[in-house]
Amino acid sequence: MGKTKVAIIGSGNIGTDLMIKIMRTSTELEMSVFVGIDPESDGLARAKRMGVKTCHEGIKGLVEMPEWTDIKIIFDATSAKAHHYNYEFVKQYPDKRIIDLTPAAIGPYLVPPVNFEEGLDEKNVNMVTCGGQATIPMVAAVSRVAKVHYGEIVASIASKSAGPGTRANIDEFTETTSLAIEKVGGAEKGKAIIILNPAEPPMVMRDTVFTLSEQGDREAIRESIHKMVKEVQKYVPGYSLHQEVQFDDIPESAPVFIEGLGLRHGLKTTVLLQVKGAGHYLPEYAGNLDIMTSAALATGEKLCKLQTI
């Protein structure tokens, strides 16, 4: 059985990096068409040089191409607003599946090492956000040992790695990530913050994860986190702990106030991460983009291996 043919919509940094990943590394997926809306974009020009068919008329142009018949997976690397438009076309075709790399959240949230099985039968799965892909596995790792009252993540990315699509989606980033911390990570309440770091030279992606949970076995929590890091490293080799896991007691006599939950006490766990990109198309410091494309690629390949396509 041959590779599964795919299309990518969005000719910016994320779409271009995903295209190169598929062409260089995938054993399951085959690039069919690379789609954009700007005929002069660098991404479309690069695709042409690499021998990939292109379309500069968006999803509407793609569905009119003869290649559309054989395409089974569409990766959407545009924007949250554009994804709503794109999905209106794709959902009319029962044999197509869409993997959404925007924060549109039309389909269910999917973080590969945490809840992949929940997306097996879905026609549209949402890859949350770069911050979500990096940090939600850590919240989930704590949740597997102790009930998490609150999860807060701070994603710091190089300003140079934030293109117009990322900047246009800042509000959706915080909202989508916060909800996914709850729905996928298992926290009662979630909060997400993103920082665009203007430092020169650019710094790699850094993420800080705070959880407040019930008291639990600290060594078990530490082991759960390390195990989850190894799971993420299977498809994002540059993902690592920046420091060892830290624990602090929040005593019942001095609880903290959490909006929406009230006063809570328990065990505070702090996880410090860094994400280096693979350097396929983008610099190493753009780990925030790399983890999104890597997660989307891993999702597409796994769906093919399980023969759900």
pLDDT in tens, 115-141: 999 888 899 999 999 999 999 999 999
pLDDT at position 1:
65
Model pLDDT, residue 243? 97
**CATH number of domain containing 26:** 3.40.50.720
Are 179 and 121 members of one domain? no
Please state the pTM of the whole predicted model: 0.95
CATH of residue 137's domain is 3.30.360.10
Same domain, 182 and 256: yes
Domain of 50 in residue numbering reads as: 4-128+290-305
Cβ atoms of 8 and 36 closer than 8 Å: no
245 and 298, same domain (yes or no): no
CB 275 within 8 A of CB 282: no
Catalytic residues: 130
Q: Does 222 have pLDDT greater than 80?
A: yes
- 85 shares its domain with 40: yes
CA 222 to CA 21: how far, in whole Å? 32
> Looking at residues 78-106, what average pLDDT do you find?
95
Q: Which two tokens stand for residue 69?
A: 């018949």
Question: Within this chain, do residues 31 and 100 fall inside the same structural domain, yes or no?
Answer: yes
Count Cβ atoms within 10 A of the Cβ of residue 30 and give its class: 0-12 exposed, 13-18 middle, 19 or more buried: middle
**With b meaning 16 or more CB within 10 Å and e meaning fewer, what string describes 204-214?**
bbbbbbbbbbe
Check pLDDT > 80 for residue 73.
yes
For residues 295 and 289, the answer to whether their CB atoms sit within 8 Å is no
